């Protein structure tokens, strides 16, 4: 007769770390880093302060985890869109219109981009946040460059160096987020999208 497996010590974890981090992210997104208190986070995450500290660290560490996760997911989403086998014009319109719709979502006001809306404000004062921002923009530009090199080989790219076109494409993505965050109308954003695509595509 075999003995029963020993019971694990301690109480089972009473929260889902992915859900808790997402709720923290949404709170920072809505209020900004500086205006978000630990009480705000505890309420949103349904965790007490000691549990937050034990799982995620202090407020700054929690914020960096949230913004890093957001940046990683944004990069993967962009790379996936650009890898689709379709003409360059269609690919860029899908990227920009998808970003537009994502940034316009929110209640009661459009939420914009978490990275642009919060991390850019903190980056001048925090080396770790600045690194997340810099690394993300570099990754976006690298993804666009890779796609534009393929487009140039196929005659789809305007007479621009792929790296220069990629810098413009990344800047446009950031401008869309900023314009929506500051209340621009959808038709103004669409005009920006169309102008950029016309410049980049042959």
Domains detected in the chain: 66-200 (1.10.357.10)
pLDDT for res 2: 43
pLDDT for res 202: 86
- Of 180, 157, 154, 184, the C-alpha closest to 168 is 157
pLDDT for res 172: 97
CA 149 – CA 54 distance, rounded (Å): 46
Instruction: Tell me how far the alpha carbon of residue 29 is from its chain's centroid.
Output: 11
pLDDT for res 3: 46
The token pair at 193 is 């999208």
Which H or E run contains 159?
Answer: none
Peptide bond into 172 cis (omega under 30): no
CA 128 – CA 131 distance, rounded (Å): 5
C-alpha dist (Å) from residue 42 to 15, 29, 45, 60, 61? 12, 15, 5, 14, 15
pLDDT for res 108: 76
Count Cα neighbours of 82 within 13 Å in the Cβ-side half-sphere: 23
pLDDT for res 9: 54
pLDDT for res 15: 79
Non-local (6+) Cβ contacts of 62 within 8 A are 21, 24, 41, 52, 56
**Bridge partners of residue 201, in order along the sequence:** 157
The token pair at 135 is 């690394």
pLDDT for res 1: 42
pLDDT in tens, the chain (202 residues): 444 555 545 554 567 999 999 999 999 999 999 999 999 999 999 999 999 999 999 999 999 999 999 999 999 999 999 999 999 999 999 999 999 999 998 777 888 999 999 998 999 999 999 999 999 999 999 999 999 999 999 999 999 999 999 999 999 999 999 999 889 888 999 999 999 999 999 8
2 conformational bin, left if phi > 0, alpha if psi -120 to 50, beta if neither: beta
Write down the pTM of the prediction: 0.88
Greatest Cα pair distance in the chain: 78
The token pair at 118 is 């919060």
């Amino acid at each position: 007769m075999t003995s029963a497996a020993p019971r694990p010590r301690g109480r089972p974890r009473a929260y889902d770390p992915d859900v808790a981090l997402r709720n923290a992210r949404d709170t920072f997104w809505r209020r900004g880093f500086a205006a978000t208190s630990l009480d705000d986070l505890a309420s949103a995450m349904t965790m007490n302060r000691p549990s937050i500290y034990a799982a995620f660290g202090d407020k700054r560490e929690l914020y960096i985890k949230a913004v890093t996760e957001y940046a990683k997911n944004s990069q993967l989403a962009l790379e996936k869109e650009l890898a689709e086998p379709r003409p360059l014009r269609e690919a860029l319109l899908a990227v920009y219109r998808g970003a537009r719709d994502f940034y316009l979502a929110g209640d009661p006001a459009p939420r914009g981009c978490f990275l642009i809306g919060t991390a850019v404000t903190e980056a001048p004062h925090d080396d770790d946040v600045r690194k997340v921002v810099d690394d993300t923009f570099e990754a976006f530009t690298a993804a666009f460059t890779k796609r534009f090199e393929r487009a140039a080989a196929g005659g789809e790219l305007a007479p621009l160096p792929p790296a220069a076109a990629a810098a413009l494409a990344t800047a446009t993505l950031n401008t869309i987020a900023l314009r929506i965050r500051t209340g621009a109308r959808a038709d103004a954003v669409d005009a920006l999208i169309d102008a950029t695509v016309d410049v980049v595509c042959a």
